[in-house]
């Protein structure tokens, strides 16, 4: 390639090949780093974006560019979520021997994967690159981030800050590379050429990741369903549901999309929601909201995503009282004919009434069979029996108990979930894992197996098969 060759002259395949070569060279420089060196780098990466003054700047910059969510939500993510994620992993051993199992005479050794190709959504573009990057570097990998075009400047700003931090500590800046002018073609090429795809975004993006031919970790569609039973602390539940529904104006796929109230507390909870800025819509207003949120083919209107309640009201020609922060839409059905039962990415919440916990579980499974199966659900309850019944009967990877869903299922200081923005949904959601994806999902492991001190003896047929021997002849 001539020195006069410009970026414009490159095909998507060639452009990504160049980025991957740079990324791979950087990764080779740290593949033998010690644990102390790795941890020093991720501390520097987080501090570079989350330190006082910079976090505020990023939050405002992100809001200005994307016009999604609100400042408070963006600030919490870049300032607090990144710190919490660092704290969650900083003491983890990710270099050398991870585990020893003397009983089985097995030793597990951590090895880097290489170049991680990360896809980042427009709804969480401020913290997602940071969290994915520190998980990658924790495993001694490099990372290339493909942002949503709507957040490309935010991604560049954040990646540049992390690159500068890496250089300050003597590591190659190319451990973190952001695609500056993202296109679908470049993103597809990245998925083809990297060593591991880490996809966070819409269903089409995740499906493309799994179809790329490269080992991929994707997330499923969110559509959190929250149950409130008769044993719940209703004041606490209403406060936390409101927080979850309005955090960053519901930009997260974990925001409460449907809330199920058992009969005994239905009216009281509605009153509490209304006291906290919830607006209970009429049937006429429900129809107006429906026509605003979705087109005739059932596609979500992106103009309403992560927007304040008053803007949605203006678009829908609905009159709402001053102080309204979220909509409450009574619903009974689920599926395409009942679009409010699905993911809305907005401050709009479907409301269901259940006879009891069994009915609530049935509703949850029906709603999530339409959208969100495998992702997460929640319950406000002081009954362990009800909590475990919901957990056992629903097809879900995570059940959040007495916690604001959107602030909790990806990890928070008040629970033990792994801190991440990538939530695996298992086979229910078409994913390869149920995990809150972290650095442990971004390494290879070598298992060293030595002979047992004492060779095991095969059990007798009587011990192994028992009564089966008498029944099957």
Residues 19 and 95 in one domain: yes
Q: Note whether residue 334 is domain-resident.
A: yes
> 324 and 351 share a domain?
yes
The domain total for the chain is 2
* CATH number for the domain that contains residue 71: 3.40.605.10
pLDDT at 210 over 80: no
> Is residue 4, in this structure, part of any structural domain at all?
no
pLDDT band at 8 (very low <50, low <70, confident <90, very high): low
> At residue 431, does pLDDT exceed 90?
no
Distance CA(210)–CA(391), nearest Å, equals: 28
On whether both 251 and 280 belong to a single domain, the answer is: yes
Half-sphere exposure (Cβ direction) of 63: Cα atoms closer than 13 Å: 20
Percent of the chain with pLDDT over 90: 92
Domain, as residue range, for 95: 11-219+437-448
Question: Do 203 and 239 reside in the same domain of the chain?
Answer: no
Catalytic residue among 159, 194, 253, 377: 253
Please state the separation of Cα 74 from the chain's center in Å.
15
The count of C-alpha atoms lying within 13 angstroms of the C-alpha of 273, restricted to the half-sphere facing its C-beta, is 28
Whether the pLDDT of residue 4 is over 70: the answer is no
115-172 tens-digit pLDDT = 999 999 999 999 999 999 999 999 999 999 999 999 999 999 999 999 999 999 999 9
Q: Are residues 233 and 202 in the same domain?
A: no
Indicate whether 36 belongs to any domain.
yes
d(CA 147, CA 184): 10
Q: Residue 2: inside a domain, yes or no? A: no
Percent of the chain with pLDDT over 70: 97
Residues 111 and 188 in one domain: yes
Q: What's the mean per-residue pLDDT of the chain?
A: 95
| pLDDT tens track for 42-98 | 999 999 999 999 999 999 999 999 999 999 999 999 999 999 999 999 999 999 999
Tell me phi and psi for residue 420, to 5 degrees.
Answer: -165, 170
Looking at the fold, whether 157 and 270 belong to one and the same domain comes out as no
Residue 458 covered by a domain: no
185 and 330 inside one domain: no
DSSP structure string for 121-141: -SSSTTTHHHHHHHHHHHTT-
Residue 6 within a domain: no
Question: Is 425 one of the catalytic residues?
Answer: no
Judge if 120 and 66 occupy the same domain: yes
Alpha helix locations (H) across 247-395? 266-275, 283-293, 309-316, 357-370, 384-393
Q: What's the pLDDT score for residue 392?
A: 98
Reply yes or no on whether the pLDDT at 299 is more than 80: yes
Q: Evaluate whether residue 332 is within a structural domain.
A: yes
What mean pLDDT do residues 371-393 have?
A: 97
Same domain, 153 and 47: yes
**Distance in angstroms between the alpha carbons of the first and the last residue of the chain:** 74
């Amino acid at each position: 390639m001539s020195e006069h060759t410009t970026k414009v002259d490159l095909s998507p395949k060639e452009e990504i090949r160049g980025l991957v070569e740079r990324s791979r060279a950087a990764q080779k420089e740290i593949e033998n780093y010690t644990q102390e060196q790795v941890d020093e780098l991720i501390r520097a990466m987080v501090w570079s974006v989350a330190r006082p003054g910079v976090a505020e700047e990023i939050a405002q910059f992100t809001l200005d560019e994307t016009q999604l969510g609100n400042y408070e939500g963006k600030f919490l993510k870049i300032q607090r979520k990144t710190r919490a994620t660092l704290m969650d992993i900083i003491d983890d051993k990710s270099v050398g021997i991870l585990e020893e199992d003397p009983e089985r005479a097995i030793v597990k050794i951590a090895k880097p994967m290489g170049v991680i190709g990360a896809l980042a959504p427009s709804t969480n573009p401020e913290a997602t690159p940071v969290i994915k990057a520190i998980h990658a570097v924790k495993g001694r990998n490099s990372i290339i981030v493909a942002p949503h075009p709507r957040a490309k400047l935010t991604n560049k700003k954040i990646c540049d800050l992390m690159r500068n931090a890496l250089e300050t500590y003597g590591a190659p800046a190319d451990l973190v590379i952001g695609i500056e002018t993202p296109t679908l073609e470049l993103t597809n090429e990245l998925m083809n050429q990297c060593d591991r795809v880490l996809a966070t975004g819409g269903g089409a993006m995740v499906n493309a990741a799994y179809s790329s031919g490269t080992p991929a970790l994707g997330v499923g569609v969110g559509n959190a369903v929250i149950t409130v039973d008769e044993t719940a602390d209703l004041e606490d539940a209403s406060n936390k549901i409101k927080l979850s529904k309005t955090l960053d104006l519901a930009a997260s796929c974990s925001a409460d999309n449907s809330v199920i109230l058992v009969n005994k507390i239905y009216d009281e909870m509605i009153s509490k929601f209304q006291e906290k800025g919830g607006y209970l819509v009429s049937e006429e207003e429900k129809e107006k909201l429906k026509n605003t949120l979705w087109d005739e083919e059932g596609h979500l209107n992106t103009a309403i995503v992560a927007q304040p309640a008053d803007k949605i009201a203006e678009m829908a020609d609905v009159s709402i009282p001053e102080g309204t922060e979220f909509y409450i839409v009574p619903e009974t059905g689920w599926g395409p004919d009942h679009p409010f039962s699905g993911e809305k990415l907005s401050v709009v919440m479907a409301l269901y009434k259940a006879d009891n916990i069994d009915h609530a579980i049935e509703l949850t499974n029906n709603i999530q069979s339409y959208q969100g199966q495998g992702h997460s659900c929640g319950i406000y309850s002081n009954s362990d029996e009800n909590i475990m019944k919901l957990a056992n009967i629903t097809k879900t990877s995570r059940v959040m108990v007495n916690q604001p869903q959107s602030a909790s299922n990806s990890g928070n200081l008040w629970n033990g979930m792994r801190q991440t923005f990538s939530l695996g949904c298992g086979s229910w959601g078409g994913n390869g894992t149920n995990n809150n994806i972290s650095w442990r999902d971004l390494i290879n492991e070598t298992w060293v197996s030595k002979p047992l001190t004492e060779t095991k003896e095969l059990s007798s047929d009587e011990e192994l098969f028992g009564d089966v021997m008498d029944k099957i002849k």
